[in-house]
């Protein structure tokens, strides 16, 4: 039976460390995250509320800016300009997805790289690629933290990342490379995904398809990190991995919920505090 990697406990530990650091360094009044939400997508509202609550817990400020669904791109860009120029705002987060009339890439590029706590700006993505210090996308950063705090070494290991999105798959691959893993990125055009996956000591799954990965993809004893998150018809959450099936073959595995999900917010707080 696989060891369960408890993202809930590890994320709480990280938030407690950040809270202590903020108090010790007297950063409470110096740090403030601006959270921008356009429209009223219920899932986005939940994410935004959780981010605000996390700021409160850690002891830093947050300001929310809620704009109607019909907001134009120029209007959003001028809000970002204002936040970029406001010294009391140290981090800016624009909740994605945005309504169709607004181009996400244009918005992401407008956020000042030194306030881009999501780590999506091309400047920060570039810094990650060349090994310079900068903000790193929170979900893949959370996966690295899960591995480190669970004492699962990456150096020299075969790592397979399934998915090549800009916010998860690609930065995940760069981070595993930075930890000296031997990294393969698999995606929708990969031939024989099962064979590629089966050679991995560490598999990070970010496909966006519920319970896609079963035991046939997993080498005995491998570490399986499930980034996926889906709501099933019965209202419960599941990941991209068929947990019940994979659990008996993996060496360690993250559950959904309670695995990677809570780590994303913890790493966002880490980006805000160490900005
Ligand atoms: P995405 O849709 O942008 O990317 C999915 C990737 O999977 C693509 O690169 C695609 O090539 C690959 N893929 C699709 N079908 C495949 C197949 N059959 N075989 C191999 N590869 C395939 O998704 P994303 O934004 O990277 O998110 C992935 C999952 O992670 C989603 O379920 C999302 O909800 C979840 N997610 C969770 C968090 C969190 O905080 N836990 C954060 C971001 C995303």
Domain locations in the chain as residue ranges: 26-113, 137-260
Q: How much distance in Å is there from the Cα of 270 to the middle of ligand 1?
A: 23
Catalytic, 95? Answer yes
Q: How much distance in Å is there from the Cα of 6 to the middle of ligand 1?
A: 21
CB 19 within 8 A of CB 265: no
The residue from 51, 115, 170, 211 that is catalytic is: 51
Catalytic, 51? Answer yes
The residue from 6, 15, 115, 118 that is catalytic is: 118
CB count in 10 Å sphere of residue 42: 7
- pTM of the predicted structure, to 2 decimals: 0.97
- For domain 137-260, which CATH number applies: 3.40.640.10, 3.40.50.720, 1.10.760.10, 3.40.50.11890? 3.40.50.720
Q: How much distance in Å is there from the Cα of 59 to the middle of ligand 1?
A: 32
CB 89 within 8 A of CB 32: yes
Who lines ligand 1 at CB under 6 A?
139, 162-165, 167-169, 186-188, 190, 193, 206-209, 227-229, 240, 260-261, 264
- Below-70 pLDDT ranges, the chain: none
Q: Whose CA is nearest to atom 8 of ligand 1?
A: 163
Catalytic, 192? Answer no
Q: Which burial class, exposed, middle or buried, applies to 57 when counting CB atoms under 10 A from its CB (0-12, 13-18, 19+)?
A: middle
**Do 26-113 and 137-260 come out as alike in CATH topology?**
yes
CB 92 within 8 A of CB 113: no
CB 255 within 8 A of CB 237: no
The predicted structure's pLDDT at residue 275: 82
The predicted structure's pLDDT at residue 1: 84
CB 147 within 8 A of CB 202: yes
What is the CATH number that goes with domain 26-113? 3.40.50.10860
Alpha-carbon span 194 to 198, nearest angstrom:
6
């Amino acid at each position: 039976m696989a060891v369960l990697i408890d993202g809930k406990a590890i994320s709480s530990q990280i938030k407690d460390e950040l809270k202590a650091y903020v108090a010790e360094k007297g950063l409470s009044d110096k740090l403030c995250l601006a959270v921008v939400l356009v429209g009223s997508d219920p899932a986005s509202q939940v994410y935004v509320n959780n981010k605000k609550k996390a700021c409160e817990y850690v002891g830093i400020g947050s300001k929310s800016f809620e704009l109607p669904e019909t907001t134009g791109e120029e209007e959003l860009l001028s809000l970002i300009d204002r936040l970029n120029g406001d010294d009391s705002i140290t981090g800016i987060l624009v909740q994605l997805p945005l309504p169709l009339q607004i181009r996400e890439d244009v918005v992401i590029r407008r956020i000042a790289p030194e306030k881009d706590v999501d780590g999506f700006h091309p400047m920060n993505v570039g810094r990650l690629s060349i090994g310079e210090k900068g903000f790193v996308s929170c979900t893949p950063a959370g996966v690295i933290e899960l591995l480190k705090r669970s004492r699962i070494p990456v150096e020299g290991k075969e790592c397979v990342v399934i998915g090549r999105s800009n916010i998860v798959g690609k930065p995940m691959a760069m981070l595993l490379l930075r930890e000296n893993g031997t990294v393969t990125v698999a995606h929708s055009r990969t031939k024989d995904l099962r064979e590629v996956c089966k050679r991995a000591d560490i598999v990070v799954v970010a496909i966006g398809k519920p319970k896609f990965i079963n035991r046939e993809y997993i080498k005995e004893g491998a570490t399986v990190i499930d980034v996926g998150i889906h709501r099933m018809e019965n209202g419960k959450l599941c990941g991209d991995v068929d947990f019940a099936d994979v659990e008996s073959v993996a060496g360690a595995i993250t559950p959904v919920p309670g695995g990677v999900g809570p780590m994303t917010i913890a790493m966002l707080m880490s980006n805000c505090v160490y900005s």
